[in-house]
Structure 1
Amino acid sequence: MTQRTRLRWNGDAALAATRQGAARGLRLAAEHVLEVSRRRVPIEEATLERSGVATVDESALTAAVSYDTPYAVRQHEELTYRHDAGRTAKYLEGPLAEEADAVGEIIAAQVRRALR
């Protein structure tokens, strides 16, 4: 008894779905890091907190989280400044390192979802 199997490989479609899932995962992961970091941003008038944004370059598959005030870098790097409870310097670096596993899982979940 001979059994035949036919397989159709849609490589271009699979690649496109993977990129689409990765881009969506990057966006969700960047938003996650932004949310966690906003809970730590030094706050006086909330200008720094409101300036935070998450962006994704889908063509390069890169994401960024940034804060855009003239003093954002100084607040991030200056370890001697005093902050309210729960607010701290390294408000972006800390959450990014601490949430690295979650970021990976968010991206992987979106790639898996796109390939269903």
Structure 2
Amino acid sequence: MSRRPRARIRWNGDAVLGQARAGAVRGLLLGAEHLLAESRKEVPIAEGTLERSGATTVDEQDLVAGVTYDTPYAARVHEDLTARHNPGRKAKFLEDPANREAAVIGELIAAQVRRALRG
């Protein structure tokens, strides 16, 4: 009678998920900061108040990041396609970079998740 080989499995799923989540949070922050930097290159500047009001947030619970411009007129300036701005500055200063940089932002997040899982 032969003995069956035995194997012992150790499940570290919760720890791995925690590491992946922490990496995702770091990646979301880096992605949001990247988008903020790119949008600041296009935000219309009169006195600089709108540009300075840009900020990033990360909701760690829901794994959602945000980039906001917090002035009473930010949405109006963003949406008014008829307004004239200095060269290189324009409406859709947040939406256009978000669309253009989506792949880069995704890679920033993925790289942080991979890095967290290697450690």
Q: TM-score, normalised by structure 2?
A: 0.92
State the match for 1:22 in structure 2: 24
Query: Secondary structure of 1:115's match?
Result: helix
Counterpart of 1:74? Answer: 76
Aligned to 1:101: 103
> Which runs of 5 or more residues in structure 1 are unaligned?
none
Can you list the C-alpha shifts for 1:4-54, whole angstroms capped at 9, x where unaligned? 654422001001001100001000000000000001000011000000001
Give the number of aligned pairs: 115
Structure 1 residue identity aligned to 2:84? R
| Deviation at residue 3 of structure 1 after TM alignment | 6.7
In terms of Rg, which structure is larger?
2
Residue from 6, 13, 36 that aligns with 1:11 = 13
Letter paired with 1:61: L
Identity %: 63
Is residue 62 of structure 1 aligned with residue 64 of structure 2?
A: yes
**Structure 2: distance between partners of 1:115 and 1:5:** 24
How large is the Cα RMSD of the aligned pairs? 1.2
Taking structure 1 as the reference length, what is the TM-score of the superposition? 0.95
Q: Distance in 1 between matches of 2:75 and 2:64?
A: 21
